[in-house]
Amino acid sequence: MADITVELIKTLREKTNAGMMDCKAALTEAGGDMAEAEVILRKKGITGAEKKAGRATSEGVIASRIDDDAKTGVLVGVSCETDFVAKNENFQSFVDGLVNHVAEAAPVATLDELLAQPYVGDESLTVSDVVKAKIGELGENMALSRFARYTVDGEGVVATYIHPPGKVGVLLEAGCGKAETAQNAGFREVV
């Protein structure tokens, strides 16, 4: 049996954000193998997610991203159980990762197909796996509740507005006749 050191536990905790005792148990079960311990923790998170699946998710946030050329915009809504988690920096970072995934992976229009896609941040996981891992990590049920990805067809720009406190958001297309107008800073500011 491998020697499970505090440094090894700390390293696993930093990689997975799991609790110290969970990391120690996973490393012990894996015989000190870091990769195997990560798999064990991921499975534990998925099991934990399944137990929390029936809980209501009435809180959450909507986040957005507009590409540099303002031709493509993304809105993603992720719901969770409490406003405490919705305001948590870890949760916010998770939602930003999902926004980036939708922007870069260009999923089709259904949530089921989005959840089945390989996650842009780690191709070995699906989006569903990432959500389940975050449920296990934060201890609350959560769901990727809705998303939209829109690309301007022709001349114009996309803009977003998210109404405080971040539960309602819109994507807006502003069309114009010329490419120069769409790239004009004044036009973008008006939008």
Mean pLDDT within 125-133: 90
pLDDT at 168: 92
For the chain, what is the radius of gyration of the CA atoms?
20
| Confidence at residue 1, expressed as pLDDT on a 0 to 100 scale | 55
Q: Give me the domains of the chain, ranges plus CATH numbers.
A: 6-52 (1.10.8.10), 59-190 (3.30.479.20)
pLDDT > 70? residue 49: no
Whole-number pLDDT of residue 20: 81
159: left (phi over 0), alpha (psi -120 to 50) or beta: beta
pLDDT bucket at 148, cuts 50 / 70 / 90: very high
Q: What is the pLDDT of residues 90-122, one digit of tens each?
A: 999 999 999 999 999 887 778 999 999 999 988
In this structure, the number of other CB atoms found within 10 A of the CB of residue 120 comes to: 16
